[in-house]
Amino acid sequence: MQVVSIDKIGEFKGQEVSIRGWVYNKRSSGKIKFLLLRDGTGIIQCVVVSSESGQEAFERFEKLTQESSLIVTGIVNEDKRAPSGHELLVKGIEVLHISHDYPITPKEHSVGYLLDRRHLWMRSQRQSAILRIRAEVIKAIRDFLDNEGFILADTPIFTPTSCEGTSTLFETKYYDRTAYLTQSGQLYNEATAMALGKVYCFGPAFRAEKSKTRRHLTEFWQVEPEAAFYDLDAMADVAERMIEYVVKKVLSKKGSELATLERDTAPLEKIKAPFPKITYAGALAILKKRDIELEYGSDFGGSDETALSEDFDNPVFVTSFPLQTKPFYMKSDPDNPELALCFDILAPEGYGEIVGGSQRVDDADVLRERIAEHNLPKEHFEWYLDLRRFGSVPHSGFGMGVERTVAWLCGIKHIREAIPFPRTIYRISP
């Protein structure tokens, strides 16, 4: 018997096929029984009538419970009302395993209860739609960068020192030494960019965030492009075109998942590069008009970012942050040395910062001073200084957080649902 997946069922109209999957739900209506079968690619309604399926399948249906695994064989019939456009007229049921007391029922559960059962929760239609969109986001990012000639160059997870400040480092034993889990692949990207020109790394980043918010994970995925000879504007251009590309791909390929999530796609359809740019000082002025007083030099909180994005349909660049608030590696603006050549991109609809980028210090002496000012262990930065000793060039890069981007595109409140197994301040299991 031909085994098919539910997403491809339309190609087998009128034919007898087998589908392997799990019981999503079932119900009886007199002599007709309905089985909702899910196989990871979708859900299909299977209709069981004893005249077609035989008595044995009819009896097996009775024993089926939520999430029991089985192989159902039947004829594919068109049914315009069904979500997949088709249903299966059952000819036979082979039970693989009967599941007992599945803990997640169609009734409401608390988020804590569901997170404790994340390994099962992800089987739900909503959660699996989010994970499919995540996979599309990652593919779109990679396709975009590959097509633009960026070379994927992986960066290490174990590192000897920090990139984004020492206050969020996860320390780990490394034989008889101390190592830290990477906060960002950027410093290594700068080396691979000098070797390969345009590069990106794509991997997990770790931050011992002290605050518990809906935008912070302790382990998140980041894509970080870096390019030699790119100034800040050239990198900003890559970032906005990449975001536009990812949004378009998700809209065109993941329509049914967005519908499952009841995501209003109208705001996403408006996303179009170029994106507006405001300065940090301009952002403070906008906030002030909204009665939010922020001291010059302080970072935006979640609610500030939300307020800032309200004025724009597109993602918005915030540039020219005060240099002293930023990491050691950012180049200062030659026209105004107090300011950094950097940008954040805030997503629309209050989703906050999804991208952080900058032009890098390219002068060895300036960089050495900065490393000292930030009290960083200079012995671990000698190799990094080499990049300014041997053919230094202007260069820039940025990092985009996958989960924040996915949360925005899915329209979900908390980024913990945007990754298969979230790691937060209070949770490392399952």
- Catalog residues that contact ligand 4AD under the rule CB under 6 A: 163-164, 184, 186, 207, 209, 216-217, 220, 222, 224, 353-358, 397-401, 403-404
Token duo for residue 109 = 């559960």
Find which of ligand 4AD, Mg ion, none residue 21 binds, CB within 5 to 8 Å per kind: none
In terms of CB distance, is 88 or 163 closer to ligand 4AD? 163
Find which of ligand 4AD, Mg ion, none residue 209 binds, CB within 5 to 8 Å per kind: ligand 4AD
In terms of CB distance, is 9 or 242 closer to ligand 4AD? 242
Residues in the chain: 430
**In the complex, minimum distance from the CB of residue 159 to ligand 4AD, in angstroms, rounded to a whole number:** 12
Which amino acid, one-letter code, is at 325?
A: T
- In whole angstroms, what is the distance from residue 28 CA to residue 61 CA? 10
Q: Which stretch binds Mg ion (CB under 5 A): 42-50, 77-85, 302-310, 348-356?
A: 348-356
**Residue owning tokens 């018997």:** 1
In terms of CB distance, is 67 or 224 closer to ligand 4AD? 224
**In the complex, minimum distance from the CB of residue 355 to ligand 4AD, in angstroms, rounded to a whole number:** 5
In terms of CB distance, is 121 or 220 closer to ligand 4AD? 220
In terms of CB distance, is 102 or 421 closer to ligand 4AD? 421
- Say which residues have a Cβ less than 8 Å from residue 110's Cβ, sequence separation at least 6: none
**In the complex, minimum distance from the CB of residue 399 to Mg ion, in angstroms, rounded to a whole number:** 8
Q: Which of 352, 356, 397, 401: binder of Mg ion (CB under 5 A)?
A: 356
Find which of Mg ion, ligand 4AD, none residue 240 binds, CB within 5 to 8 Å per kind: none
**In the complex, minimum distance from the CB of residue 320 to ligand 4AD, in angstroms, rounded to a whole number:** 15
Give 203-214 as a DSSP string.
Answer: EEEE---SS--T
**In the complex, minimum distance from the CB of residue 216 to ligand 4AD, in angstroms, rounded to a whole number:** 4
Token duo for residue 226 = 């870096």
- In whole angstroms, what is the distance from residue 253 CA to residue 262 CA? 16
First-to-last C-alpha distance (Å) of the chain: 37
**In the complex, minimum distance from the CB of residue 370 to ligand 4AD, in angstroms, rounded to a whole number:** 15
Find which of Mg ion, ligand 4AD, none residue 134 binds, CB within 5 to 8 Å per kind: none
- In whole angstroms, what is the distance from residue 36 CA to residue 25 CA? 5
Q: Is 357 in the site for Mg ion (CB under 5 A)?
A: no
Find which of ligand 4AD, Mg ion, none residue 73 binds, CB within 5 to 8 Å per kind: none
Locate all alpha helices (DSSP H) within 175-328, ordered by sequence.
Answer: 186-196, 232-253, 255-260, 266-269, 280-289, 302-309
**Number of residues in contact with Mg ion, rule: CB under 5 A?**
1
- In whole angstroms, what is the distance from residue 309 CA to residue 354 CA? 12
**In the complex, minimum distance from the CB of residue 212 to ligand 4AD, in angstroms, rounded to a whole number:** 11
CA dihedral (86, 87, 89, 93) in degrees, to 10, reads 130
In terms of CB distance, is 105 or 172 closer to ligand 4AD? 172
CA distances from 160 to 153, 174, 180, 194, 426 (A): 19, 10, 6, 21, 26
**In the complex, minimum distance from the CB of residue 252 to ligand 4AD, in angstroms, rounded to a whole number:** 24
The secondary element (H helix, E strand) that includes residue 299 is none
In terms of CB distance, is 45 or 184 closer to ligand 4AD? 184
Report the candidate in 43, 5, 9 with the shortest Cα–Cα distance to residue 26: 43
**In the complex, minimum distance from the CB of residue 322 to ligand 4AD, in angstroms, rounded to a whole number:** 15
Give 82-122 as a DSSP string.
Answer: STTSEEEEEEEEEEEE---S-S--SS---HHHHHHTHHHHT
Which of the residues 364 through 403 are near Mg ion (CB under 5 A)? Answer: none
Which of the residues 140 through 179 are near Mg ion (CB under 5 A)? Answer: none
In terms of CB distance, is 348 or 401 closer to Mg ion? 401
- In whole angstroms, what is the distance from residue 85 CA to residue 77 CA? 9
Find which of Mg ion, ligand 4AD, none residue 39 binds, CB within 5 to 8 Å per kind: none
**In the complex, minimum distance from the CB of residue 293 to Mg ion, in angstroms, rounded to a whole number:** 22
- In whole angstroms, what is the distance from residue 368 CA to residue 260 CA? 52
- In whole angstroms, what is the distance from residue 170 CA to residue 217 CA? 13
Instruction: Give residue number: closest CB to Mg ion.
Output: 356
Residues that bind Mg ion (CB under 5 A): 356
